[in-house]
A and B are shown apart, each in its own frame.
Chain A
C-alpha cells in the first residue's frame, strides 16, 4: 500500500505543477487505482479534482477530453459512440468493471504509457494529440516515444474526422489484461494499424499501414499485410504469453481488423 504524507487540491494548473515539481516524491493523483497497488511513498499528493478536467467536449475540429474524465464516461458518451465507429468506448469496455471504470482516469491511463493499455492503442489509430502542461501539445505517437518527464497531462485532442476504426483485444479471460490488442482505422485511403500489449507499449505498423492504401483488397492481400504487420513490429514474452504467440495473434487480429473496417463507410 502507498503512503501519502500530505495532499493538496490546487485550483489551477500552475499551482499544481509548482507543487508537483517541488519535490521528487510529489505525485499527481488520478483515480488512484494503480497508485494504491504500489509501495510508493508520496510526499505531497496532487489531486486534480478541482481543476474541472472531467469532461468530453465537441469543438469545431476536435473532440477534447479532459484528463480527469473517467474511462466509464469514455465508454458511454454519445459523441464517442458516434465518432470513429465507436472505437474508444469499445476499447475500454473490458477493463475490470463498471465501478472500476467510473473511478480511473483518461489522463493517468495515457500518461502512464502502460504497455498493456487498451486505450492508448485505440487512440493511436486516431489523430490524437496530447496536451501536457509543461511540454505542450504534441501527437500521441511522439509523446509515447518521448522520455518520461514529470508533467501533467491536461487533455487529449482528437481530430474530428470521418475516420472509421475497429478495436480488437485478445484476452485469456474476460477482465484480464490484453495478451495483445490491435486498432485499425481508415480515413479515405489512409490506414493506420496500431498494435499494443506486445507486451511493450503500442506502436504503429507503418509499412503495413502504407501497404493498405489500395482500392480493392483481396483476402490474400489482407493476409499478406497482416503478416507484414506481425513482422515489422517486435514482440516480447511475459506471464500472459510468449513472443511467438503474440506474433501469431498480431497477424490474426490485424487481418480481422482490416476486414471489419473495410465495409465501414467513411463518407
Chain B
C-alpha cells in the first residue's frame, strides 16, 4: 500500500506547530463582544432576585441576560446522536442553580474589563438550599437536585428524579448468585476511580455572528459540530437550518468537547444584539464549570473455578453525574459494555448501576467513557483472583480472554471479528521483562521495584447508531476534494481519511483537498467520539472513494471507446489494459465538468456499522516504591496494542503515548477535589497536577496487528482504549512492591505510606 500504513505527516502539522492563526480565537472578529458568565457561588440555591441596574448602566455593556430572558425549553449539552439518551435537564439559565459555577447571568460588553466590572455590579439574592455533595448519599437524600416538572427523556433511561437518580441500568445473563455458589474461589472488592479533568490546552471557546442572510454562524472549538447545531436549535428555539457550526483547528478535546460549553451563551448574545460575540472560558471555568470524568464506586465480585476460569462477574456501579445528566446513561452502560466481553468463559454476568445527581460540576464524556473506570475495577479484581489462585496474572488472562469467532454472554450473539490480545500480552511480557521482574525486586535500601499489568478493550464507533457520510469529488482541474463531517481535534483524522481516499484512488495525498467540520458543507457525521472516526468515517470514505473510482473508470472507458473492464488507473490517468490509450484525470475533469460535460464525478457514501469491534491493549507497569516515604516512581510503561491495521503508525503511536500519559495522571496524580461547601479546590494547574515530562517515566508502545474484516483496510480504533490500563496496572505494581492495595484513585505517596503502616 502506498498511503495506508505509512507515517505520513499531518496535513495541518506545520501550520499548527509553528503557531499559525488557525484556532477559534485567532479567527474571531476584533469587534466581537466579550461574553462573560456570572456564576453561582452556592452549590444549591434558588435565585430570589437579580438587580442589574448598576451593571446595565455601565458604558460599554451591551446586554445582560438572566433566566427571565431565555427560552423555557430543557435540553442537554451532551453531543450525542438524536434522539439523545441524556436527559433534557437544563435550561440556558435557570432560576435554580445546582453547583458552584452554575450560570446565573450572561454579560456581553465591548471589552473584558467592562464585562468584569459589570459582573461585579450585579446583585443577586439567593435562597440557599442544602446541597447533595456526597454521591454515595445522593439516593434518598432530602434535597432533590432536579425538582422541576418539565425534565424529560427521549426514551426510558431509568430516571427517578425524586431519588436523585439520573439513570439506571441493569443487565443480567444467567444466574449470578447460583454460579458464584458453584465457584471454587470468589473475590470481591470496591473501587473508587475519581473525577478527572480533561485539561485540554485550548480551553472551551466559541464565537458567533450573523451572516449575510441573517443566519447564525457559530465557530466553535468542538468535537461535535452537527450535535452543537441541533443543541443550539433546541435551546434557542430556532430552526437548525438557520444555524451553521464551523469547527476550525482545535487545541485538544479528549471527550470534553463532546459536550457543549460556551456556544449557547455566545449564540444567544448574537441573536439578542445582532452583533458578533466571543466567549472564552478561562482555565478556572474550564476546571470548575464544564465537565469531568464520572467519579464512580464499583463493587465487583468475581467467581472462578480452581483452574482460574472466570465463571461469574457481578458489577454494581454508582456513578456521580453531578448537577446535570450529560452522558450519564451511556457512560454508565459502557462500564459494563467495555469490560464484561473481555472474558467470555463466564456462565453468568450481572451489571447493575445507577448514575446519580449531586450538586457538583457535571460529569461528561471523557476518553475511555466508562471503560476506564470499569477496567480499573475489573482488572484489579482479576489481579486479586490471580494472586488468590497463585496463578501468574498474564496466564489467567490468556486462559480467559475471548478469541476470534467466539461470542460473549451479553453480546447478543455477535462474534468477535479480530483480536491479537493474546499476542499483545505475550509481547508486553517480553518487553517489560515480566519473568525476571514479577513480582518484585529489592533495588536498594528502602527501594523496591515491581511490575503489574492489566488489559482492556473499547469499541470502534457505536453499533447501529453512529453513521458517517463522506463525499469525494473530481474537481475541474483533476484534483480531488474530500468532504467529511469528521472532526479533527489534533488526532489527525483529516490526514488519515485522505490517506484512505488516496489509497483507493491510487493518487498522491497532495492532490486531495480536505474540507471538514462545517455543518453547511460537510456531509453528516456525529463527530469525533466513541472511537468512531477511523472505523466508521473511514469506511464511509473508502466506500465513497470506491464509488468515485468506479465512475472514473466507467466514464474514462466511455471516452476512450472501450469497455469498463478494459481500463485501469494509472497514476493521474486512466489507461486501457493494453496500454495504448490513456486519458488523464485533468482531461477527464475537463470533459465531464467544463463546457458541455454536465456530470461532475462524485463518490458518496453513508456508513453505519452493525458491530463495534473492540481494539485491545495489554499494559505493563514497572514502578519503584520508596518504603520510607511511599513515593512511587513510574520507571517503565509498556503498552502493546491491537487496533487492527495501523493506518498511520506515527499518529497511532502518539495517540497511544498521550492516552497512556493521561492514564498515568489518573493513576498517580490527578483528582478533582471539593471543599465541604461544594466549591472545587482544584481549579488551577497549580492545584490540579497533570503529569509533566518528569512524571511519566518511559512509555513504550508496540502494535500487534490484527485484521478486522468490517473495518477500513482492517482497521479498528485506538483513540480511547489507550487511556484505560494505567490505573489498574500501576495499582497492581504498587501492590506487588509493598503490599498496599489502594482502591481509591489517585494513588498518592501518602496513601501508599499509610497503607504500609497498617
Contacts and interface: CB of A to CB of B under 8 A. Distances in A.
Interface of A: 37, 170, 172-176, 179, 239, 241-242, 245, 248-249, 252-253
11 contacts: A170-B629, A172-B750, A173-B669, A173-B692, A175-B689, A239-B687, A241-B750, A242-B750, A245-B750, A245-B754, A252-B628
B126 interface: no
Contacts of B169: none
Given A37-B686, A175-B692, A245-B750, 17 more contacts: A170-B631, A170-B749, A172-B749, A173-B668, A173-B695, A174-B692, A174-B694, A175-B689, A239-B673, A239-B681, A241-B750, A242-B750, A245-B754, A248-B628, A249-B629, A252-B628, A252-B629
A116 to B, nearest CB: 11
B658 interface: no
Secondary structure type dominating chain A contacts: mixed
A174 B673 contact: no
Interface in B610-629: 628-629
A242 B669 CA distance: 17
A194 B689 CA distance: 27
Contact of A173 (B628, B689, B753): B689
A172 B681 contact: no
B753 A248 contact: yes
Contacts of A179: 749-750
Interface of B: 628-629, 631, 668-669, 673, 681, 686-687, 689, 691-692, 694-695, 748-750, 753-754
A179 B691 CA distance: 17
Secondary structure type dominating chain B contacts: loop
B629 A176 contact: no
Contacts of A37: 686
Contacts of A239: 673, 681, 687
A41 B629 CA distance: 42
Nearest to A219: B445
A31 B630 CA distance: 35
A229 B325 CA distance: 52
B629 A174 contact: no
Nearest to A259: B445
A142 to B, nearest CB: 30
A242 B686 CA distance: 19
Contacts of B628: 248, 252
A249 to B, nearest CB: 6
Nearest to A253: B629
A176 B682 CA distance: 13
Nearest to B684: A37
**Top 5 closest A-B pairs, CB basis?**
A174-B694, A252-B628, A173-B689, A245-B750, A173-B669
A253 B630 CA distance: 12
A249 B748 CA distance: 14
B753 A176 contact: no
A174 B749 CA distance: 13
B748 A172 contact: yes
Contacts of A252: 628-629
Nearest to B673: A239
A232 B749 CA distance: 24
A174 B695 contact: yes
Nearest to A251: B628
Nearest to B687: A239
A176 B439 CA distance: 30
Residue in A173, A239, A248 with the greatest tally of chain B CB atoms within 10 Å: A173
Contacts of A172: 669, 689, 748-750
A175 B688 CA distance: 11
Contacts of A242: 750
B362 to A, nearest CB: 23
A74 to B, nearest CB: 20
Contacts of B749: 170, 172, 179
A37 B687 CA distance: 13
A175 B689 CA distance: 8
A45 B187 CA distance: 64
A241 B681 CA distance: 14
A248 B446 CA distance: 14
A176 B689 contact: yes
Contacts of B748: 172
Nearest to B675: A239
Contacts of A173: 668-669, 689, 691-692, 695
Nearest to A246: B750
Nearest to A170: B629
B746 to A, nearest CB: 9
B753 to A, nearest CB: 6
Contacts of B695: 173-174
A245 B753 contact: yes
A174 B694 CA distance: 6
Contacts of A174: 692, 694-695
Contacts of A249: 629
A169 to B, nearest CB: 12
Contacts of B669: 172-173
A172 B752 CA distance: 12
A173 B667 CA distance: 12
